[in-house]
Amino acid sequence: MAGLLFVYTRTSIKAAKRNAQQHREADGGQISWRNETLRRHGAIDTPGDKGTVRELVGKAKEEVAITVDKGKTEEEKIKARRGKRKEGGDEL
C-alpha cells in the first residue's frame, strides 16, 4: 500500500511541475495570475497538450529503450524483437 502511495505522489508532483512549466512558458516566463484565472474560467485556452499518466510512462519506456538500443547492432535488435513475439510480448 505504501508503494502505491509513493508512486501516486511522485506522479502527481511530476504532473504538477510539468503543468506549471507549460503555464509559465505560455505567459512569457512567469505565471500571470490574471491569465491563470481566465484559463480556469474558460476565457482563454490552456497551453500545450495535456498528457496522461499512461503517456508519461510510455515516454519513459521509450527513453529507456533508446538508451538500451544504442549499443546494439541492427541484427541484434531484430533478434530481440523476434524473441518478444515468440514469448507473446507486444507486437511491434
Range of lowest pLDDT (9-13, 18-22, 78-82): 78-82
DSSP reduced 3-state for 33: helix
> How confident is the model over 47-57, as a mean pLDDT?
67
| Nearest in space to 18 (alpha carbons), one of 41, 48, 43 | 48
What is the pLDDT, as a whole number, of residue 29? Answer: 85
Which grid coordinates are listed for 39?
Answer: 484559463
pLDDT at 78: 75
Handedness of CA 68, 73, 78, 84 (dihedral sign): negative
0.75 exceeded by pTM: no
92 falls in which pLDDT band (50, 70, 90)?
A: very low
Percent of the chain exceeding pLDDT 70 equals 68
